[in-house]
């Protein structure tokens, strides 16, 4: 049997999910498979590429032990509450304990309609499926907690969006698919029993060290708050803009979830949004920590019925918990920025030093990834290719002087610093224009640009001289011109 399932979620009461079969598709065909992830789940390369698994991952076959379910959840979308969302185009096939002993969900996304589809077709198109595959795996490589992608398959069917597009199914692998919206679903229904079971399940699964806490609901809030603060700090370190941080896309495990409209900054700009539906910049790059806190406040509200005491004291308790967020986040973000600057020891003033550089980058719209990579080179070789990115040479040189003084204040070896800086400052990220290019080619049946990007992103810290154009920002020529004009 290629995958051995052990399903804990179906042991929860019926109201947590609906049992649904995937809808069969006419002509399954492989697009991409992820061998290392397959291996982790106990699949040999042969099993992974078997016709049996292709049928399974297209939704045409149910493996023994698999109990497909659509999960129930609610969510705040762009600030407005929707009491019933749920898996409208995804099905959890079951849970698999990996070779590392960790339990993971194996989910099909794009597997057909469910009772949660609300008029949608339950399907996914090739482009978004490949985008999630590429970006989630790149994030994983870059050390960001995230759902992963085991495979993408074509269905042989067209899906109708603005135009007809090839249909595809993604196999997503996640620590779980529990979200803040799952808690909200039961809170809205005043189902205290389900809430308590959910908290117990989530703690056992994601925060086992907190099982047995006096107040399990508070223990879960703390766990999610810490994990999500660390996650969003990592996003900021890479210039990642999630794009749709609704509470139904905010996982309880602290993994990045849902790669719909995500993007990466090129020019550094905290106000940058990419999503065409984010009209007010709610989910802008620099707003992500604030939105996370807003989401955590919704989680706290949803957990309130589980606390003891009168309403006033419960609210006081939850507020006191949430007040920890700013310092928690600053701690996590500070750690990320220190790594980017090559600072291994924590000293007061480090965040200010980092912010002074970011301010200059914002003023000149300097490419975020390129600038930190050039800073890394400067630390390694004294070769200054960084200053030329800035319009005010005096300002950047003054900053570099303080940075060098700060580096000199710790005993780190050049070798160690270089290694840590490279890790924190990849040469390659999934640049939006390169991802778009790869997806456009894939839609025409040419997977070569996708595979090229994927192979470079599997080693994002190396220089890959033969792929150097994949490291460059879009419109390098115009943008350089503008920068030089200022100097």
- Is residue 301 exposed (0-12), middle (13-18) or buried (19+ Cβ within 10 Å)? middle
Of these partners, Mg ion, ligand AMP, none, which one is at the site of residue 376 (CB under 5 to 8 Å by kind)? none
- Tell whether residue 79 is a contact of ligand AMP (CB under 6 A): no
Task: Identify whether the C-beta of residue 390 lies closer than 8 Å to the C-beta of residue 360.
Answer: yes
Instruction: Give the number of residues in contact with ligand AMP, rule: CB under 6 A.
Output: 15
At which residue do the structure tokens 């849902």 appear? 258
Residue among 242 and 340 whose Cβ is closer to ligand AMP: 242
Of these partners, Mg ion, ligand AMP, none, which one is at the site of residue 341 (CB under 5 to 8 Å by kind)? none
| Among 226, 224, 229, 258, residue whose Cα is nearest residue 242 | 258
Beta carbon of residue 401, minimum distance to ligand AMP (angstroms, whole number)? 47
Q: Choose the catalytic residue: 55, 87, 100, 248.
A: 248
Instruction: Report residue 409 CA to chain centroid gap.
Output: 35
Triad 280, 299, 238: Cα angle to 5°: 55
Instruction: Find the helix or strand (DSSP H, E) in which 442 lies.
Output: helix 432-443
Residue among 296 and 470 whose Cβ is closer to Mg ion: 296
**What residue is closest to Mg ion based on CB?**
258
Rg (C-alpha) for the chain, rounded Å, is 23
- Tell whether residue 258 is a contact of ligand AMP (CB under 6 A): yes
- Tell whether residue 165 is a contact of ligand AMP (CB under 6 A): no
**What is the Cα–Cα distance from 74 to 52, expressed in whole angstroms?**
34
DSSP tag of 287: G
For ligand AMP, the binding residues in 96-135 under the rule CB under 6 A are 116-117, 120-123
Whether 248 is catalytic is yes
Stretch 420-459: interaction string toward ligand AMP, x if CB under 6 A = ----------------------------------------
HEC states along 400-427? HHHHHHHHHCCCCCHHHHHHHHHHHCCC
Residue among 83 and 316 whose Cβ is closer to ligand AMP: 83
Binding site for Mg ion (CB under 5 A): 249, 258
Of these, 111, 171, 247, 249, which contacts ligand AMP (CB under 6 A)? 249
Beta carbon of residue 187, minimum distance to ligand AMP (angstroms, whole number)? 17
DSSP tag of 72: P
What would the two tokens of residue 165 be?
């597009």
| Among 242, 441, 241, residue whose Cα is nearest residue 452 | 441
Beta carbon of residue 258, minimum distance to Mg ion (angstroms, whole number)? 4
- Tell whether residue 86 is a contact of ligand AMP (CB under 6 A): yes
Which are the catalytic amino acids?
248
**Residues of this chain that bind ligand AMP (CB under 6 A):** 85-89, 116-117, 120-123, 248-249, 258, 260
């Amino acid at each position: 049997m290629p995958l051995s399932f052990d399903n804990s979620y179906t042991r929860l009461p019926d109201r947590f999910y609906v049992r649904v079969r995937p809808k069969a598709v006419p002509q399954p065909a492989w697009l991409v498979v992820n061998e290392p992830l397959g291996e982790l789940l106990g699949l040999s390369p042969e099993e992974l590429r078997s016709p049996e698994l292709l049928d399974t991952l297209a939704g045409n076959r149910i493996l023994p032990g698999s109990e497909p379910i659509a999960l129930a959840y609610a969510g705040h979308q762009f600030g407005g509450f929707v009491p019933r969302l749920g898996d409208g185009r995804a099905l959890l096939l079951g849970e698999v304990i990996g070779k590392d002993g960790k339990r993971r969900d194996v989910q099909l996304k794009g597997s057909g309609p469910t009772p949660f589809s609300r008029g949608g077709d339950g399907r996914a198109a090739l482009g978004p499926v490949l985008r999630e595959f590429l970006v989630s795996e790149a994030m994983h490589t870059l050390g960001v907690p995230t759902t992963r992608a085991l495979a993408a398959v074509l269905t042989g069917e067209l899906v109708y969006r603005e135009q007809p597009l090839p249909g595809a199914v993604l196999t997503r692998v996640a620590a779980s698919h529990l979200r803040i919206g799952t808690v909200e679903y039961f809170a809205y229904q005043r189902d205290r029993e389900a809430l308590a079971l959910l908290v117990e399940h989530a703690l056992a699964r994601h925060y086992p060290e907190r099982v047995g806490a006096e107040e399990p609901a508070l223990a879960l809030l703390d766990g999610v708050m810490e994990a999500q603060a660390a996650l969003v700090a990592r996003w900021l370190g890479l210039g990642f803009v999630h794009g749709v941080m609704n509470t139904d896309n905010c996982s309880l495990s602290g993994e990045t979830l849902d790669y719909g409209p995500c993007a990466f900054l090129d020019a550094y700009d905290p106000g940058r949004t990419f999503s065409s539906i984010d009209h007010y910049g709610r989910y802008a790059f620099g707003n992500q920590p604030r939105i996370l806190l807003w989401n955590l406040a919704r989680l706290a509200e949803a957990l309130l019925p589980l606390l003891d005491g009168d309403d006033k004291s419960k609210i006081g308790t939850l507020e006191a918990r949430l007040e920890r967020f700013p310092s928690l986040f600053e701690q996590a973000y500070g750690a990320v920025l220190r790594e980017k600057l090559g600072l291994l020891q924590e000293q007061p003033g480090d965040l200010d030093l980092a912010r002074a550089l970011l301010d200059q980058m914002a003023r000149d719209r300097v490419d975020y990834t390129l600038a930190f990579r050039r800073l890394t080179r400067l630390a390694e070789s004294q070769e200054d290719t960084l200053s030329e990115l800035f319009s005010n040479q005096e300002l950047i040189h003054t900053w570099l002087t303080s940075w060098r003084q700060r580096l000199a204040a710790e005993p780190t070896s050049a070798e160690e610093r270089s290694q840590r800086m490279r890790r924190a400052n990849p040469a390659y990220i999934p640049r939006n224009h390169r991802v778009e290019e790869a997806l456009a080619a894939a839609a025409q049946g040419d997977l070569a640009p996708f595979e090229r990007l994927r192979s470079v992103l599997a080693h994002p810290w190396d220089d890959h001289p033969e792929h150097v154009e994949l490291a460059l920002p879009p419109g390098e020529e115009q943008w350089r011109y503008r920068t030089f004009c200022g100097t």
